[in-house]
Each structure stands twice: as C-alpha cells, then as structure tokens.
Structure 1
Amino acid sequence: MFRLILGRAQWCGDGVWEDRALGGQRIEFEDHFDGEALDPAKWFAAYLPHWSALKRTRPNYRISDGVLRLFVAEDQGPWCPDLDGDVKVSNLQTGHFSGPLGSARGQHRFREGLVVREEISPQRLYVPHFGRVEMRARARLGPQHLAALWLIGFEEVPEQSGEITLMEVFGTAVGPEETEVVQGIKAITDPALEDELNEVRLPLRAEEWHVYGMDWTPSGVRFFVDGAETFRTRQAPDYPMQLMLNFYELPGEDPAGEGWFDVDYVRGFAPESGSGSEV
C-alpha cells in the first residue's frame, strides 16, 4: 500500500482511488502504454469508420518508452473527404457501434444524411456509465491542430448521442505560458441535453505534462486540471459512453507543421456503488 498525492486526490493502491470529496473509486480501465504495440483489448484503432471506411480512418501513432504519440503523417489523407472536407485525424476509441450497410444508424452523426458505408461489428472495450476518467498528456500544436479526449454515447439508442469533452485544446489557443482548455458537454442530437461548455485559460504550457480529469455523476460532471477543479456542469448524460482520443489536422492555407499528442496514461474509475462500465 502506498499513497501518491495529486491535488486533493490520493492513489492508495489495491485498485482504489480516494478523494475526500468523492469517496473511494476502483480502477476498471488503465493503459500506461508499456508494451511495444497498442492493446486491441483496450483500443479500436479507427475514427468513426462506418461513415467512411476502415482504410481511410486508421490512425498514425507510435509507442515508445511508455508513451503513446498520435500524429498526422505527411502522406495521410482526409478521413472522410466528401463529407468532412480536408480534416485529417488520428484517433483511438474504446468502443464502436453502427448499424447495417446503408442504414442511418451509427455513432456521432456529425451531419445530416449520413449512411453506413462499411459494416463493422460492435465493440465494447471500455464503455463506462458514470465514474472518473483521467489522462496525463502533453501536445505540440500548430495553428491547424487540435488535441482532445472526448466521451461519446455508445448510441445503440440514437438519442443517446451526447458528448462529454474532457479536454479539447486548439493550436490557436496555445500561448507560450498560457493555454485555453475547453471542457463540458455537447448535446449533439440528444434532446435531453444542451450545450454547456467552458473555455478556461490556464497558466500551463501545452507541451509539458499535465493531468486532465473528470468526475461524471448523475447530477453533473466536474472537470479538473492537475488536481484543481476548473468547471462543473448542471447536467450529465445518463447512458454508456466510450472514450475518443483524437489528434486532428484541420484545413488551412498554410502547412500545418510538426504536431503531436503524447499520452502517458489513461485511467477509468468506477464508483464503488452504482453504475460502472459495460463490456
């Protein structure tokens, strides 16, 4: 048994994370990227492939010295050029759901008129329903880059489509000594939710390691950076959601330049009582 203090939170061993305000929570998902390859039992290496194709949506990444690096390669093409323009993305996700070929059923309907172009079997790798998620990460971002960790509804029920933005950092919001971090909730097509986002400018350098976290309960979501609370919502999605770990290159007139998104670890904690992940 050992104790590591991070802000107010305390890791006490035995798979339990304790916080005086939150009570005990047990780890149900954890990846420190210690191996030489991505663990397929934890991550599905594609980005919403049902709206495009697996071969178009595979990410560029490498794992070295216990760090995952997501990046966009020079020869990488847009993930869905006819529907999302020149947007390029390297993404890992902890689940996947879509309907049969030609149907309109699928996760994250980002525009009208979408139909499934490639039929892919559902995957429930880590699909939590309430709990805590945290990530230790750093990023080098040019003006056209975006680094983010989101949760989206698993969406077997189409209305269960909301998004929790754990952290979202645009390259245009990164300064030498301050960085603007976006956190909150996006309704997408969930009629029970409304957009509730916070843009907070923090005295941190994006290229240095920071811990981004959230605690998701039926009454709302609390967000943290380096152990300090930065925002809390007054609503919360009430259904299973999956993690989406993204590095984007957005369209622009100038070359994007070098950029990357490094992740040291991702952890998911379930409340000791109440809902947990669905696998």
Structure 2
Amino acid sequence: MLGPLPAAPATPPDIEDRFADGPDPRLWIDSYLPHWTTPERARARYSRRSEGLVLHIDADQPDWRTADAPLRVSNLQTGSFSGPLGSTRGTHRHRPDGLTVQTPTPLQLLWAPAAGRVDIEVSASRDPDCMLAAWLVGTEHRDPRESGEVCIFEIDARESGDGWTARTGIKAHHDERLTTRMTQVSLPFDAGTPHVWTAIWGNDETIIGCNGEIVQRVPQAPDYPLFLLIDLFEIGAPRGTYPKTAMLHSVRGWGRTVA
C-alpha cells in the first residue's frame, strides 16, 4: 500500500446507488456493450438482497458473443454509444480482430465524467472461473481515439479467504497518448467479503485505492468522457453450481471538469 487515499469530496455525490430497488434506470444500462452483440446475449442477470445487488451467471445464460465463447457476463454500465449496423464505431473496441455493430444503440450519457472520483463497494465471487471487474472506459462518441481505460479492479474468484489478488491500472487501447500500465496487487483480506475500491482521475494522474489505501498511482489519465462498467464474468466452459454470483453493495461518484 502507498499511503491513505485523499478524503472524499465534501459535496454530495453526483451519483449514488445502493440498489434498494435494483439498478436505477436513470443511471444504469443493464447490458454488456450491447452494440457488439444481440440483446439477449448482452442482458444482465441479477437479483436483489438487503445487502445490495447480486450479479448472476445463470446455467441457461448464453455466451456474450459466439465468437468469444465460452464467455458469459452480467454487467451494468452508465451509458451507451455505437455507430450504425455493421460499422466499427462503438464504446470499448477492446478486441483487435474486427468487432462490428450488431445492435445499434443510441448515445446515452447517463454518467460520463472526464475526471472525478468513484467509490464502489463489492464482494467478489468465490465461484469457479469467475471474475468481478470495474472499469472506466472512453465513450468514443466524439473521437475513436478517446478509448482509454481506468481499470479499477479485476478480481479472479477464489474459494478460500486467502490469497486474493487484483489487477489495476491504465489500458491505452486505441489512444496513443496513453501507455498501458497494469499491476497485480495482493489483497490482505478476504475479497469475497464487502470492501471498497476507489478511482480518482484527472489532471494527468490516476489514483486507485482499496479500503482507504492507495494501491497504485499512475502519472497519466484519460481526459475525455468515460462510462463506468461493473461486470461479473464467467470465463471458460460451464461447470460447477449455478447461479454463480458476486455482490454490488453501493456506488458513489463525483464528476469534475478537466483543468
């Protein structure tokens, strides 16, 4: 750990969701990058508990795309954008092998700050082959170069309470102004229990923290609109007991302009 995180802003957050009634439709789209696939394949599976929202991978859930199989995902994201059917324009062109728009989606900037802070409380999955992740990704609606990513965390499932790790950092994707810089950090706690991740970005710096402590400080940051994505993936052929789950307890976010 690299010291304590800066305190959260004294002002009320721009967004806050504890999922008392499920995902707030004014903030969330409950599909994973729906423009690259079909609605049924993109649609998230989830349920509500007193502690928050449970993201599911269900036994009958289809692969996100047949070209990516086996890969299933339940995701919430704070906006959408794509070009027309058959085009290559769209948010998060994360594959180099020719993603094309299958389902055109309108531009929705539900929350897309160019700088700010977000705090996300989660409990990671313990189920085999699962990963819980949260990213801030360039919307690309103004310019395809605006594609960089703040990877807040990617946590692979573990059955026990020991040995958890997370990947965090910056991914450049198609933005040559950024340099990919990812780090794997050890987590000194059971990530299958509630804990809070934080990203603070802007003015050429990104700070990523966990439970109030800085885990990575990167001297670069995207300076254009970003959507927040929170995802539960199952990577690999179906096995084990279903549903496979992770818990999303709360999200708070503050956006600000770039100096």
Q: TM-score, normalised by structure 1?
A: 0.85
Does residue 99 of the first structure (1) align with residue 100 of the second (2)?
Answer: no
1:111: how far off? 3.0
Equivalent AA in structure 1 for residue 101 of structure 2:
V
Please give the per-residue CA displacement for 1:7-58, whole angstroms capped at 9, x wherever unaligned. 6665xxxxxx34xxxxx554111101112x3211110011111111112110
Deviation readout 1:148-203 (Å, 9 max, x if unpaired) = 1111111111111111111110126x753231011101111111111111111021
Of 15, 39, 58, 1:29 maps to 15
| Partner SS, residue 208 of structure 2 | strand
Q: Which amino acid aligns with 1:161?
A: S
Cα distance between partner residues in 1 of 2:182 and 2:60: 34
2:60 is aligned to: 75
Map of 1:32-111 to 2, 5 A cutoff?
A: 32-35=18-21, 37-81=22-66, 83-109=67-93, 110-111=95-96
Distance 2:241 2:11 in 1: 41
Distance change in 2, residues 1:175/1:198 (3 Å): farther
| CA-atom RMSD in angstroms | 1.9
Partner residue in 2 for 1:218: 203
Preserved contact between residue 113 and residue 226 of structure 2 (Cα < 8 Å): yes
Q: Which amino acid aligns with 1:140?
A: S
1:170 aligns with 2:156: yes
Cα distance in structure 2, aligned partners of 1:191 and 1:144: 32
Whichever residue aligns with residue 88 of structure 1, its letter is: R
1:234 Cα deviation (Å)? 1.4
Q: Are 2:154 and 1:154 equivalent residues in the alignment?
A: no
> For 1:129, which of 111, 114, 117 is the aligned residue?
114
Letter in 2 for 1:57: A
Alignment partner, residue 236 of structure 1: 221
- What TM-score results when the alignment is normalised by the length of structure 2? 0.91
Give the aligned length.
253
3-state secondary structure, aligned to 2:13: strand
- Contact 1:132–1:216, Cα closer than 8 Å, also in 2: yes
Contact 2:127 2:245 in 1 (8 A): no
CA contact under 8 A between 2:138 and 2:149: conserved in structure 1? yes
Identity %: 34
Give per-residue Cα distances to partners, 1:71-101, cap 9 Å, x unaligned: 10010010101x2121000011001000011
Structure 1: 5+ residue stretches without partners: 1-6, 11-16, 19-23
Q: Which runs of 5+ in 2 are unaligned?
A: none
In the alignment, residue 50 of structure 1 is paired with which amino acid?
Answer: H
Superposed displacement of residue 217, structure 1: 1.6
Structure 1 counterpart of 2:185: 200
> Quick one: distance in 1 between partners of 2:39 and 2:105?
9
Instruction: Tell me if structure 1 keeps the 8 A contact 2:124–2:157.
Output: no
Q: Secondary structure at the match of 1:150?
A: strand
- Per-residue deviation, 1:222: 0.6
Q: Is the 8 A contact 2:154 2:168 kept in 1?
A: yes
Q: Structure 1's 8 and 223: CA in aligned 2 closer, same or farther, altered over 3 A?
A: closer
Q: Please tell me whether the aligned partners of residues 135 and 149 of structure 2 are also in contact (alpha carbons under 8 angstroms).
A: yes
